Structure 1
Amino acid sequence: MKIARELGDVDEERFQLRNLAYVAKVDGYFHWAVVYNRQALYLAILENDRPTIAEIAYDIARLLASQSETLPQAKVLLEHALHYQTRSDAA
């Protein structure tokens, strides 16, 4: 990830962050899974990559929905994910 960041390869950096989020989730590190996904979401927003924004927002919402105290945040993220989803993806 550091190399991707140094080279300015945003797609690779985002890919690596999402991989870290997945591993953190599998290993039970809920907080870190959310943090890595939020960083990936930020990069997708900078690139205005609407399908990826929707996908990552959905992933974060799924993580947040697993905890009762973050359920309201999950709802908001799902609403935003639907907003960013392209018409072809919705069909």
Structure 2
Amino acid sequence: MELSAVGRMIKARRNAIGLTQQHLAKLAKLSRQTVQTLEAGTIKDLGFERLSRLLSVLGLGFDNLSLTAQLKKQDLWRVAKNCL
């Protein structure tokens, strides 16, 4: 999976749980600029450790299916919650 796709998933998850880029960056021990460039798809390389910290903070994993499934689950939960 390309970093630009990972960045889109990270942005969607971050928004879904209500974190700002600054707060996510602080929790993952990264700069806000790193989070911003990842989400924008303009970062060239992030490295395993930094990406791992970001995913961990968001409750995500490296498995592509896991990332997609978790985001879909979150969306379904949100829709169900709004129906109540």
| Normalised-by-shorter TM-score class | 0.3 to 0.5
With CA pairs under 8 Å and 6+ residues apart, which has the higher RCO, 1 or 2?
A: 2
More helix by share: 1
Alignment TM-score, normalising by the size of structure 1? 0.33
Alignment TM-score, normalising by the size of structure 2? 0.34
